[in-house]
Amino acid sequence: MTTYRIDTVDQGTVTYTDQKRWWWLLSLVNPLIPLFGIVGHWLTGSELWLLVPLGMMFIMGPAFDWLFGEDENNPPEILVPQLEQDTYYRWLTYLTVPVHYITFLAVAIWVGTHSLTWWGFIALTVALGFADGFAINTGHELGHKRTKIETWLAKIVLAVPAYGHFWIEHNRGHHRDVATPDDPASARMGESIYQFARREIPGAFHRAWMLEHERLCRKGVPVWSIHNEVLQSYMITVILQVGLIATFGWIMLPFLIIHNFFSWWVLTSANYIEHYGLLRAQQADGKYERCQPHHSWNANHKYSNLLLFHLQRHSDHHANPTRRYQSLRDFPDLPSLPSGYYGMYVVAYLPALWFKLMDSRLLALPHIKGDLRKVNINPDSLAAIQAKYGQADA
């Protein structure tokens, strides 16, 4: 174990050891989950193995979150600079990029060279879509950093789920507008995930394109050019996916459509649960208050956070976007999810259950205390919510 240390005048010697240091290798394993299905199919000949990756995500994931519990450990702030300079953590994000490509190509080759039943084909492709949806999470961690290598790695990994516009939309759009009615990537109280998806997916693409259009126009550079950072990632996607169609034929068309959709659906699922109903206060000048930790839902569960580069410590991430994953902190009295993301995705896909579980939790938050005026509410649901909670002036 590596111990970080600093001598101070007022606190004496401050030390910190990251007990999760080697467990972070699980973030490299996460993209490999679909390969467990392929290996089982290869060894046994049974296509039932192709269902295993989905079970690992949506049954084992929530179960392990419950079993291993939550992590309230924070590194001492004075040692964060040392922790962030440790290149071990950085290399894990770098290495995850080729792992996503290896898994994507391995599954594509398996689908392209084996005669699978329709349900085996769908199970394996959907599992890959979910795994590659978390390539967007890898791109998220890399895209927030200011080095050229990390920026380019973000573009490269985002080409796998065909979501190259994400890091521009997320960094320059979502972080600016988060937890406001202006943000297509912030879900509103009373809005189901299916309603949210129809607003979020096209809204995010449009905002990314407009932000990049404005940047290039300011520089006097043609929008349709190699300098367009949206198109840079999409060119890699085209080469990758057209190459698969040329190599394996028509079977790649449904494979890529299903894969890409479910990859996008993972991001939609994450965005839905991360800011549901939370609202930044609007100030007298019309601007919104600075984003605070209580403007994001947090999940401190050990297992899923190790798989996702601490994505679920989302509150500190939005308050401090450039902070590296190993340094993200927990705070008291944060909006907290009852499970990690895998478990909460399943709940979100059942809107009645989601509203029952989350609406009361939302209104009970210390900074809201049942006041609907402090909630980001879906306009179509406003009357019903006012009637249910007895407030007509929200």
Question: DSSP labels for 9-76?
Answer: TTTEEEEEE-TTTTGGGHHHHGGGHHHHHHHHHHHH--GGGGGHHHHIIIIIHHHHHHHH-B------
Predicted pLDDT at 11: 82
Paired tokens of 349: 């896909």
Q: Are 31 and 101 in contact (CB under 8 A)?
A: no
Q: What is the mean pLDDT of residues 72-84?
A: 91
Q: 293 exposed, middle or buried (CB, 10 Å; 0-12, 13-18, 19+)?
A: buried
Predicted pLDDT at 318: 93
* DSSP secondary structure letters along 180-228: STT-TTS--BT--HHHHHHHHHHHHHHHHHHHHHHHHHHHT--SSSTT-
Q: In terms of pLDDT, which residue wins out, 155 or 284?
A: 155
Predicted pLDDT at 6: 87
Query: What's the start-to-end Cα distance of the chain, in Å?
Result: 53
Distance CA 216, CA 213 (A): 5
Predicted pLDDT at 57: 96
pLDDT, one tens digit per residue, over 168-185 is: 999 999 999 999 999 999
Average pLDDT across the chain, whole number: 94
3-state secondary structure 253-283: HHHHHHHHHHHHHHHHHHHHHHCCCECCCEC
Q: What is the mean pLDDT of residues 67-72?
A: 92
Q: What is the mean pLDDT of residues 14-28?
A: 92
The pTM of the full predicted model, rounded to 2 decimals, is 0.94
Predicted pLDDT at 377: 97
pLDDT, one tens digit per residue, over 209-250 is: 999 999 999 999 999 999 999 999 999 999 999 999 999 999
331 — pLDDT class (breaks 50, 70, 90):
confident
109 pLDDT higher than 80: yes
Which of 208, 324, 335, 231 minimizes the C-alpha distance to 280? 335
Predicted pLDDT at 295: 96
Paired tokens of 322: 């450039």
Predicted pLDDT at 394: 55
8 — pLDDT class (breaks 50, 70, 90):
confident
132 pLDDT higher than 90: yes
393 pLDDT higher than 80: no
367 pLDDT higher than 60: yes
Per domain, the residue ranges of the chain are 28-368
Predicted pLDDT at 333: 86
297 — pLDDT class (breaks 50, 70, 90):
very high
Predicted pLDDT at 259: 98
392 pLDDT higher than 70: no
Beta pairing partners, 5: 15
Distance CA 394, CA 383 (A): 9
Longest dimension (CA), the chain: 69
Predicted pLDDT at 146: 85
